[in-house]
Amino acid sequence: MKAFAMLAALFLSISLWLAWTPDLTREALLQSYTRPGTSFVPVAGQPVFLQDTGPRDAPTLVLLHGFGASLQTWDAWAGELDKDWRVVRMDVAAFGLTGAALNNDYSDAADVARLLALLDHLGLQRVALGGHSMGGRIAWNFAAAHPERVSQLLLVAPDGFPDPRSTTEHTYQVSPWLGLIQLSLPAWALKLGVAPAYGDEKRLTPETLRRYQDMMRAPGVRKALIERMRQSRNADPVPRLQSLNMPTLLLWGEQDAFIPISHAQDYLQAMPHATLAAIPFAGHVVHEEVPLPSVQAVKAFLHNTTP
């Protein structure tokens, strides 16, 4: 048995060594992902990586990405929207080039406080606010806490309602084995987690998968996202959602396997001014998978609800 255990340990060590994927340097990532409008902005003492495009005198749309993603997830949408809108998107704390929160706080309240500080720094008093999945949860929590700062709300398959099968307050069950991603994150393994977010896995391009892997390998991100998972807690969202009076668009892929479109009914029942746009043949990341059909729904919503 002892010899077997030693062989197993040796096999595991060799496997991890062969698949070892260390963090990339911030400098290397900036060489690949610096674009027009990208910069670091100091927010509460922490540099936040963002991209700010479109006319400065236009109304502003702020977009928040989902778990494991980065600001580039909105590239296709921004290319369509920033003709008429100032589009601001950032790497949310724990992800991308923003990286780990300096205070290590990933609670809903901390996310809201960071977004408020960012808007104040940019001098944005009132914005249209959008978010996908985890970013949707941040968006509607911010709108509930600071309704005077949000003119319209755009929620793409938002997180927020606890899984009905959950028996604890924890949103995620964090396995000790998850820590291994800090040592090894080969592209084939990451694809197993990313591809199911698409209604049609063939739409996940090698370039997109490479970007996901690069941003997961940003300094300290893998450790930070595990900490964010540990801190995520279930809570009844209905009282906060019922307080929202701004025009709201719920955008959902009909083939969403992560947060099924049936969950939209929970939001529609709680939110008095929400409407649903269902995108056929699309999964969880409609803005990446079918950017043109989904952004058309967004443009129509913004056009019809902007004073």
Supply the pTM of this predicted model: 0.92
Diameter of the chain by CA atoms? 74
Per-residue pLDDT reduced to its tens digit, 184-227: 888 998 999 999 999 999 999 999 999 999 999 999 999 999 99
Q: What angle do CA 268, 200, 217 make, to 5 degrees?
A: 90
Q: Which amino acid is at 209?
A: L
Q: What is the residue whose two structure tokens read 């994150």?
A: 185
Q: The dihedral of CA 261, 265, 270, 273: what is its sign?
A: positive
Pairing assessment for the beta strands 86-90 and 46-53 based on DSSP bridges = antiparallel
Per-residue pLDDT reduced to its tens digit, 78-88: 999 999 999 99
Burial class (CB in 10 A: 0-12, 13-18, 19+), 302: buried
Q: Which CATH number fits domain 21-305: 3.40.50.1820, 1.10.3720.10, 3.20.10.10, 3.40.640.10?
A: 3.40.50.1820
CA dist 73 → 70, 122, 140, 252 (Å): 6, 22, 19, 16
Q: What is the residue whose two structure tokens read 């990451």?
A: 190
